[in-house]
């Protein structure tokens, strides 16, 4: 199963970092996200794209996780040569991740 | 007053010109808030101001106000906008001129200044304020002589002051986006500057609507297919109660939707540590927020918690950082990708022969793997077509121009050069880069003046 089957996401930029809000479509799947979508797995998923560290914050009240990927936007903002310079599609790239149920 | 209805009509400069008009005409609101300033907008406005001392603000805002000013004054809808750019006084004057020329009476423009610290940079440095890059830690010396603008993020306090002084339109320069919403709430409800949970609630309300329709069905990953009539998407409105509880909604008959999912996506947007959302007046904590649907297109948000803010203000500076250019050529079947890769290789060899001093060069195959890269691998490589995009970054515009001259000759490379996707030969575009830093609050002194029309 891929994350897209159980979660939705929105991403945005802060300088050269991108944040990805990952939200369980059904609140009962939140523990699954907590268990499966660790900072380490996200760093592995974005290897070669996120050149810095990945931090994860838990928001059980919203059934959501918030990830910060540092050094992920090729310099970020107006200096990046990336097609997706602001990381707007990176949340959807996270949803491609395979998880074990 | 039981609740205050605050509508967002503009998430960024260039957002829908119809949205703020629809917010005014689509139903009852008490406030219209408008955000015009992206991180590097100030440097562009400063250039305009240096050429013309009457310019340097968001001209679109004046055009909008000439359409809605009469109606807003008659219906007592107050407008709060960070449209002032580097010249809030000039922006206010333009509004007063509109009112005079249209015979509109009752305009009272509150002007917030004091965010522009460009003239203070030398003093700050000599006082030992490091001004180093907040994200990278890089020393300010690296960019000092290239700084084009420097503005502190003011908050809600000067906006609340302007409203208390009787303004019905408030114009600021650089200001936090949530401050545009918190200022009116403090003014309306008489919240105190140490009512931390209430200030946090108002900040969360502002965060929820600051990106316009992102709270109401726009850019909605969780269900974009199910959003009705995105062509007429309703921009969000918060109905805030004195206890800080608020309902996110939109005008009846508009497109999009307000659901727990659309609101939750927006709550998480551009969020860092959810327990520590920094702003000038309060540090907000999102970790006890509760979001629930209380009716069709009505989502209630409760549980904001706050604590005292830090002693610093964030400052956004912009500095000139070289030039960029990108070339795009479409190749098609057969072997579209192989042809694009050969063209890229020919181009790079020629650039190497020229010895051009490039700071960076990047090749993307648009339509194949340019966005997700290896994270979401392409299904196959027998594309019907692909766009070769080669972009460069250099210190000087001549290097970008010389690079540009190497693109058309690629017609003599692999077959099927279909022309330049972006039109004629590219022109170098100047890069304005962003320099975030912190200054002590004590060095910034927000000023408020209210100017009356006729």
Hey, where are the domains in chain A? 3-76+84-94
Neighbouring-strand partners of residue B361: B392
**Candidates B40, B223, B257, B268, partner chain A, best to mutate (most A CBs within 10 A):** B268
Task: Check CB contact under 8 Å for B135 and A62.
Answer: no
Task: Check CB contact under 8 Å for B366 and A91.
Answer: no
Task: Report pLDDT for B422.
Answer: 75
| ipTM of predicted assembly, 2 dp | 0.98
Distance between B303 CA and the closest CA of chain A, angstroms: 10
Q: Would you say B160 and B186 are in contact if contact means Cβ atoms under 8 Å apart?
A: yes
Lowest mean pLDDT among B55-59, B295-299, B357-361, B381-385: B381-385
Strands, E assignment, B166-262: 169-171, 237-241, 246-249
Task: Report pLDDT for A101.
Answer: 85
| Length reported for chain A | 101
The sheet that has B78-81: what strands, in order across it? B290-295, B298-302, B246-249, B237-241, B3-10, B31-34, B78-81, B169-171, B108-113, B447-452
- Could you tell me which residues come within 8 angstroms of residue B191 by beta carbon, excluding any fewer than 6 positions away? B185, B198, B199, B202
Query: Is any Cβ of chain A less than 8 angstroms from the Cβ of B12?
Result: no
pLDDT band at A41 (very low <50, low <70, confident <90, very high): very high
CA dist B426 → B323, B347, B396, B404, B408 (Å)? 12, 15, 15, 6, 11
Which CATH architecture best describes the domain A3-76+84-94? 2-Layer Sandwich (3.30)
Neighbouring-strand partners of residue B248: B238, B299
What fold characterizes domain B320-433?
Alpha-Beta Plaits (3.30.70)
CB-hemisphere CA count at 13 Å for B94? 22
- Whole-number Å distance between alpha carbons of B104 and B72: 11
Q: Which tokens go with B272?
A: 């860092």
Residue of B nearest to A21 (CA): B268
- Among B136, B289, B361, the residue with its CB nearest the CB of A62 is B289
Residue B391, classified by CB atoms within 10 Å of its CB into exposed (0-12), middle (13-18) or buried (19+), is buried
Task: Report pLDDT for A69.
Answer: 98
Instruction: With a cut of 70, say whether residue B1 has pLDDT above it.
Output: no
Question: Which residues of chain A does B433 touch, with a Cβ-Cβ cutoff of 8 Å?
Answer: 77-79
- Whole-number Å distance between alpha carbons of B359 and A51: 19
pLDDT by residue (tens digit) across B102-159? 999 999 999 999 999 999 999 999 999 999 999 999 999 999 999 999 999 999 999 9
Helix (H, G, I), strand (E, B) or coil at B27: coil
Task: Delimit the domains of chain B by residue range.
Answer: 3-115+153-310, 320-433
Task: Report pLDDT for A77.
Answer: 79
Question: Which residues of chain A does B223 touch, with a Cβ-Cβ cutoff of 8 Å?
Answer: 8
pLDDT by residue (tens digit) across B41-73? 888 898 899 899 999 999 999 999 999 999 999
**Percent of chain B at pLDDT exceeding 70:** 100
CA dist B154 → B165, B231, B260, B314, B316 (Å)? 18, 34, 30, 9, 11
Task: Check CB contact under 8 Å for A10 and B393.
Answer: no
- Among B214, B268, B392, the residue with its CB nearest the CB of A64 is B268
pLDDT by residue (tens digit) across B173-201? 999 999 999 999 999 999 999 999 999 99
- Among B268, B289, B360, the residue with its CB nearest the CB of A81 is B360
pLDDT band at B39 (very low <50, low <70, confident <90, very high): confident
Task: Report pLDDT for B170.
Answer: 98
């Amino acid at each position: 199963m891929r994350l897209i089957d159980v979660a939705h996401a929105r991403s945005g930029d802060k300088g050269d970092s991108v944040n990805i809000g990952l939200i369980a479509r059904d609140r009962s799947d939140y523990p699954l996200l907590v268990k499966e979508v660790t900072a380490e797995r996200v760093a592995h998923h974005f290897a070669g794209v996120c050149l810095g560290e990945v931090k994860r914050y838990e928001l059980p009240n919203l059934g959501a996780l918030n990830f910060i990927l540092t050094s992920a936007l090729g310099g970020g903002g107006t200096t990046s040569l990336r097609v997706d310079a602001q990381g707007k599609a990176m949340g959807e790239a996270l949803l491609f991740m395979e998880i074990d149920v | 007053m039981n609740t205050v209805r605050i509508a967002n009509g503009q998430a960024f400069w260039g957002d829908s010109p119809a949205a703020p008009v629809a917010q005014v005409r689509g139903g009852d609101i008490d406030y219209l808030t408008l955000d015009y300033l992206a991180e590097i907008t100030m440097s562009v406005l400063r250039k305009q101001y240096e050429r013309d001392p009457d310019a340097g603000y968001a001209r679109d805002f004046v055009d909008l106000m000439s359409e809605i000013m009469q109606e807003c004054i008659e219906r007592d809808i107050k407008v709060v906008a960070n449209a002032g750019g580097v010249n809030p006084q000039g922006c206010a004057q333009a509004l007063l001129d509109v009112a005079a020329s249209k015979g509109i009476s009752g305009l009272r423009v509150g002007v917030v200044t004091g965010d522009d610290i460009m003239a203070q940079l030398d003093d700050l440095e000599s006082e030992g304020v490091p001004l180093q890059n907040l994200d990278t830690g890089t020393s300010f010396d690296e960019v000092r002589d290239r700084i084009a603008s420097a503005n502190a993020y003011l908050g809600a306090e000067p906006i609340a002051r302007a409203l208390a002084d009787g303004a019905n339109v408030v114009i600021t320069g650089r200001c936090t986006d949530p401050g545009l919403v918190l200022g009116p709430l403090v003014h309306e409800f008489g919240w105190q500057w140490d009512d931390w949970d209430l200030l946090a609630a108002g900040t969360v309300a502002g965060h929820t609507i600051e990106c316009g329709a992102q709270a109401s069905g726009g850019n909605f990953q969780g269900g974009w297919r199910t959003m009705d009539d995105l062509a007429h998407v309703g921009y969000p409105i918060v109905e805030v109660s004195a206890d800080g509880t608020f309902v996110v909604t939109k005008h009846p008959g508009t497109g999009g939707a307000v659901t727990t999912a659309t609101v939750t996506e927006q709550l998480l947007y551009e969020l860092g540590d959810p327990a520590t959302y920094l702003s000038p007046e309060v540090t907000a904590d999102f970790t006890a927020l509760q979001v629930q649907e209380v009716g069709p297109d009505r989502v209630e948000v409760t549980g904001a918690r706050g604590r005292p803010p830090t002693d610093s203000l964030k400052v956004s500076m912009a500095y000139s950082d070289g030039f960029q250019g990108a070339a795009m050529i479409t190749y098609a079947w057969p072997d579209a990708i192989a042809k694009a890769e050969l063209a890229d290789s020919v181009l790079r060899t020629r650039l190497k022969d020229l010895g051009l001093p490039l700071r960076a060069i990047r090749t993307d195959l648009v339509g194949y793997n340019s966005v997700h890269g290896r994270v979401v691998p392409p299904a196959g490589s027998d594309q019907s077509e692909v766009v070769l995009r080669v972009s460069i970054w250099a210190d000087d515009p001549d290097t970008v121009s010389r690079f540009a001259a190497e693109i058309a000759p690629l017609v003599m490379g692999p077959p099927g050069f279909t022309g330049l996707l972006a039109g004629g030969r590219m022109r170098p575009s100047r890069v304005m880069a962003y320099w975030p830093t912190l200054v002590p609050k004590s060095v910034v002194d927000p000023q408020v003046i209210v100017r009356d029309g006729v």
